[in-house]
Amino acid sequence: MKTRHNIIICMGSSCFARGNERALGIIKSYINKNGLDANVEFRGKLCTELCNKGPVITINDICYENVKPESVTDILDSVFTAG
Ligand code: FES
């Protein structure tokens, strides 16, 4: 059985405006391109009071802070190639 991954992207206005709007599209196409739909639960959530550390993305309970859209693919690669 494959590991199920959990991705939560902060869609609060601060994170959204500072990069998560682009990160959202990047994550969606990464999931599609790699056929990961069945293995990933991807959802958004509202502000989690970490705005000063944002944009924030949480993957498998690890909170990534100050995520730049251009770093998202590298983060996803590290998660998904680690198995
Ligand atoms: S908007 Fe993302 S933590 Fe506040």
Q: Could you read off the pLDDT of 34-80 as tens digits, one per residue?
A: 999 999 999 999 998 999 999 999 999 999 999 999 999 999 999 99
Ligand 1 atom closest to the CA of 14, numbered from 1: 1
For residue 54, how far is its CA from the centre of ligand 1 (angstroms)?
6
Structural contact between residues 56 and 50, judged by C-beta atoms closer than 8 angstroms: yes
| Pocket of ligand 1, beta carbon within 6 A | 10, 12-15, 47-48, 50-51, 54, 56
Q: For residue 41, how far is its CA from the centre of ligand 1 (angstroms)? A: 20
pLDDT band at 23 (very low <50, low <70, confident <90, very high): very high
pLDDT band at 18 (very low <50, low <70, confident <90, very high): very high
Angular region, 48: left φ>0, alpha ψ -120 to 50, beta rest: alpha
Beta-carbon-side half-sphere exposure of residue 4 (alpha carbons within 13 Å)? 4
DSSP-assigned beta bridge partners for residue 10: 45
Domain covering 5-77 assigned CATH 3.40.30.10 in the classification: yes
pLDDT in the model for residue 70: 98
Q: Which of 34, 37, 24, 38 is nearest to 72 (CA)?
A: 24
**Domain-wise residue ranges, the chain:** 5-77
